[in-house]
Amino acid sequence: SNTVAVILFFLLMSVVGLLEAMQITFFAVAKLKKSERGNAPFAMKTCEILFRGDGHNLPGFMIGRQLCVVSCFFIIARVTSLHVEPGFGNNIFGVSDSAQTFFNTGLLGTIVTTILGSITWQLVASAFPLAFLSNPLVYFFLRICLFLEATGVASGAWVLAAIHKHVAGFQRDEVYIGTADEQE
């Protein structure tokens, strides 16, 4: 039904937006000293999980995040796709047949999704990373993304990354610039 489609659209756009904001937030706080990451309980819990151990949780989050985003985008694309036959006078908003053919491709939904579901949230997160970090939903979705990565569905990404690292001679940033706590 249309009601379910609208609810799914806004719910999944919010999930995609939050995941996009989390990506920006996590990279922003990775550059901060531990003492500058805030003292809100969920901010501290999130950072503890994100930066624990040998640093695989941040890239692990990125893989799990991508799986979530792609899944949400497939459903959003289905909800926003149009199937109006041009040439019979049923075009939405009375647009021309060529415009209706464009609308039927799903590209309009892609543009709306990119602006509302990605870019807007990223801009807000870049301005307020600590506020996003303190949100309990961030902690919840971090756990979901790390779980998805741990299932091994996208394990090939780790293999490709290791090959690329070896071929290009990449090293961790800490080798070149030190940790955030070491910088002054």
Express each pLDDT in 30-54 by its tens digit: 888 888 888 899 999 999 999 987 8
Q: Which pLDDT does position 180 carry in this prediction?
A: 67
Q: pTM of the entire structure?
A: 0.80
Asked if residue 22 lies in contact with residue 142, where contact means CB atoms within 8 angstroms, the answer is yes
The predicted-structure confidence for 80-117, as pLDDT tens digits, reads as follows 888 889 888 889 888 999 988 888 888 877 788 888 88
User: CA-to-CA distance for 177 and 105, rounded, in angstroms?
Assistant: 46
Determine which helix (DSSP H) or strand (DSSP E) holds 182, and give its type and residue range.
none
Mean pLDDT of 126-135: 93
| Alpha helices for 57-128 (secondary structure H) | 57-80, 97-104, 107-114, 120-127
Q: Which pLDDT does position 55 carry in this prediction?
A: 78
